[in-house]
């Protein structure tokens, strides 16, 4: 059967094509197109006008540590954290990056830039399963600190499995990077305003505007913030001002919608996106209820300060574990024409695989259909 699907054309407008049952579903990356319908509903509210003479300088605010950060974006970021309550912004420097990917590199530079003439090697560790940043040297749980310097990356809620995480290495010579890409109400309960030395956030997973490539770090230590800014100056002399202006606008519209209580779910981005994620997770759990192939992790409900309710965890990824008899989960998925990412890429066994829950609706529905067919196929002996 052929299923109608919409794909973006080169200019971003959507054109209708067909998604055939033979085509491979590319669910191996977390491209957050699931949130497009909300922004379509916002109509022209997020439009920005940029004139030919606007934003021509490299600089935004020469008095700020991060001199290429547009003040209106800095203000929007502070407002956003205030509205959501997921992180403290006072007495912190905001360092902007081309996605949080660039900020991670900037941090590796800032935290290892040698003060001494003989640079020491620094291990970068994270507990498995971990987001496959190529620079993660080893599993934090088995890392023997021995007084050596190290950097621990804590991703909470964690990509790929959605669990809440804290630092696991207990050492004096370590620095911890808290990657809070998914610490937003559509994925998880907001349990407290995070108050760490170094925290990373990204627009990609918050609003879904991954294409704008906007990420930010909240950093207490001025010296670290300055070194990060230096790195970004060396690598790209700042971050696109057009992206910054758009991000400020989108964040502003999002915050207005959250603060205008009484306008209904349709204006509140986090209510809208939480409902979308909840529906998807319900469909997935339903599809795998009697599955002889896969199991899913069960997350506890937690009290969310943003919604004021006990809420389910609705991770951005399905972390599938194969049941006995299937050794390579990703290979098995490939047989169903579903492209995921195997456990090995996250430092664990291939019986696990990660599949994105953030695709467009038509792709998601195909994903569910294929899982159901596989389950039925196996139980009826095909």
Residues at the contact surface with ligand PMP, assessed by CB under 6 A: 30, 99-101, 131, 155, 159, 179, 181, 202, 204, 210, 215
Rounded to a whole number of angstroms, the minimum distance from the CB of residue 330 to ligand PMP is 17
Rounded to a whole number of angstroms, the minimum distance from the CB of residue 182 to ligand PMP is 7
- Nearest-CA neighbor of 51 among 230, 277, 274, 242? 242
Nearer to ligand PMP, 100 or 311 (CB): 100
Q: 3-class DSSP state for residue 276?
A: helix
Rounded to a whole number of angstroms, the minimum distance from the CB of residue 215 to ligand PMP is 4
- Nearest-CA neighbor of 353 among 365, 366, 363, 339? 339
Rounded to a whole number of angstroms, the minimum distance from the CB of residue 96 to ligand PMP is 11
Residue for token pair 């309960």: 189
DSSP one-letter code for 162: -
Q: 3-class DSSP state for residue 311?
A: strand
Task: Tell me phi and psi for residue 193, to 5 degrees.
Answer: -80, 115
Q: Strand (E) positions, the chain?
A: 2-8, 14-20, 25-26, 93-98, 123-126, 138-139, 150-155, 174-179, 198-202, 214-219, 294-296, 302-303, 310-311, 317-322, 338-339, 341-342, 352-356
Rounded to a whole number of angstroms, the minimum distance from the CB of residue 357 to ligand PMP is 12
Rounded to a whole number of angstroms, the minimum distance from the CB of residue 327 to ligand PMP is 26
Peptide bond into 129 cis (omega under 30): yes
Cα 96 from Cα 67, distance rounded (Å): 10
Nearer to ligand PMP, 200 or 296 (CB): 200
Rounded to a whole number of angstroms, the minimum distance from the CB of residue 369 to ligand PMP is 26
Nearer to ligand PMP, 99 or 257 (CB): 99
DSSP one-letter code for 335: H
Nearer to ligand PMP, 6 or 101 (CB): 101
Nearer to ligand PMP, 155 or 188 (CB): 155
89 Cβ contact partners less than 8 Å away, ≥ 6 residues apart? 77, 78, 81, 82, 218
Rounded to a whole number of angstroms, the minimum distance from the CB of residue 173 to ligand PMP is 24
Nearer to ligand PMP, 39 or 148 (CB): 39
- Which helix (H) or strand (E) segment holds residue 285: the answer is helix 269-288
- Nearest-CA neighbor of 363 among 9, 1, 27? 27
Nearer to ligand PMP, 205 or 312 (CB): 205
Nearest position to ligand PMP, beta carbon: 99
- Nearest-CA neighbor of 153 among 182, 172, 184, 174? 174
Region for 298 from its dihedrals, namely left if φ exceeds 0, alpha if ψ lies in -120 to 50, beta otherwise: beta
Rounded to a whole number of angstroms, the minimum distance from the CB of residue 106 to ligand PMP is 12
- Nearest-CA neighbor of 77 among 202, 228, 213, 191? 202
Tokens of 326: 């299937």
Nearer to ligand PMP, 99 or 185 (CB): 99
Nearer to ligand PMP, 151 or 210 (CB): 210
């Amino acid at each position: 059967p052929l299923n109608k699907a919409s794909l973006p054309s080169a200019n971003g407008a959507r054109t209708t094509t067909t998604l055939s049952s033979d085509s491979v579903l590319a669910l191996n990356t977390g491209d957050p197109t699931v949130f497009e319908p909300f922004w379509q509903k916002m109509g022209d509210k997020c439009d920005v006008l940029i004139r030919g003479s606007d934003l021509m300088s490299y600089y935004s605010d020469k008095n700020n540590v991060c001199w290429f950060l547009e003040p209106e974006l800095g203000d929007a970021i502070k407002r956003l954290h205030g509205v959501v309550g997921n992180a403290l912004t006072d007495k912190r420097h905001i360092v902007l990056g081309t996605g949080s990917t660039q900020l991670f590199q900037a941090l590796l530079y800032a935290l290892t830039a040698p003060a001494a003439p003989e640079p020491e090697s620094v291990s970068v560790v994270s507990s498995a399963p971990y987001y496959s940043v190529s620079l993660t040297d080893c599993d934090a749980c088995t890392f023997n600190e021995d007084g050596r310097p190290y950097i621990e990356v804590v991703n909470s809620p964690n990509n790929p499995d959605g669990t809440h995480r804290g630092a696991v290495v207990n050492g004096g010579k370590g620095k911890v990077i808290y990657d809070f890409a998914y610490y937003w109400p559509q994925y998880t309960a907001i349990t407290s305003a995070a108050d760490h030395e170094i925290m990373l956030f990204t627009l990609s997973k918050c609003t879904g505007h991954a294409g704008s490539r906007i990420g930010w770090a909240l950093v207490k230590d001025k010296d670290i913030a300055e070194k990060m800014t230096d790195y970004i100056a060396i690598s790209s002399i700042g971050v696109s001002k057009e992206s910054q202006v758009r991000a400020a606008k989108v964040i502003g519209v999002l915050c207005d919608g959250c603060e205008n209580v009484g306008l209904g779910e349709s204006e509140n981005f986090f209510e809208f996106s939480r409902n979308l994620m909840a529906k998807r997770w319900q469909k997935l759990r339903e599809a795998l209820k009697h599955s002889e192939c896969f199991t899913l992790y069960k997350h506890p409900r937690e009290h969310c300060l943003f919604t004021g309710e006990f809420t389910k965890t609705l991770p951005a990824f399905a972390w599938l574990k194969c049941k006995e008899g299937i050794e390579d989960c990703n290979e098995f998925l490939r047989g169903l024409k579903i492209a995921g990412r195997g456990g090995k890429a996250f430092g664990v066994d291939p019986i696990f695989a990660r599949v994105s829950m953030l695709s467009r609706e038509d792709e998601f529905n195909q994903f569910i259909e294929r899982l159901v067919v596989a389950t039925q196929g196996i139980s009826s002996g095909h």
